[in-house]
Structure 1
Amino acid sequence: MSIELSEPDVNGLGEAVAALRGWQSDASPLQLHPGDLGWFWRAGPEATATAVRTWSRDGRILAVGLLDGPGLLRLTIARDARRDEELARSMLADVTDPDRGVLPAGRASIEAPMTARLQDLLAGAGWHADEPWTPLHRDLAQPVPPPGVRVERVGPGLAAESTAVHRSAFDGSTFTEERWHTMAAGLPFADARTLLAYDDGGAAVACVTVWSAGAGRPGLLEPMGVHRDHRGRGHGRAISVAAAAALRDMGASSAMVCTPASNTAAVATYRAAGYEPRALVRDMTRDA
Structure 2
Amino acid sequence: VLCLVGNLIIIALVSSSNLRESPMYFFLCHLSLCDMLLTTDIVPGLLHIILRNGRSIAFPECVTQYQFFGVSTGTECLLLTVMSYDRYLAICRPLSYIRIMGTKLRHLLAFGSWVLIFGITLTIAVLMSRLNFCGENIIDHFFCDFVPILQLSCSDTQLLQTINLILTSPVTLLPFMVIIVSYVCIAAVIMKIPTVTGRQKAFSTCSSHLTVVSIYYVTLHCMYMVPTSGRSVIALKVLSLIYTVVTPFLNPLIYTLRNQEIKVTFVKMFCFKWKNQET
Give the structure-2-normalised TM-score. Answer: 0.29
Q: Which has the higher strand share?
A: 1
Give the structure-1-normalised TM-score. Answer: 0.29
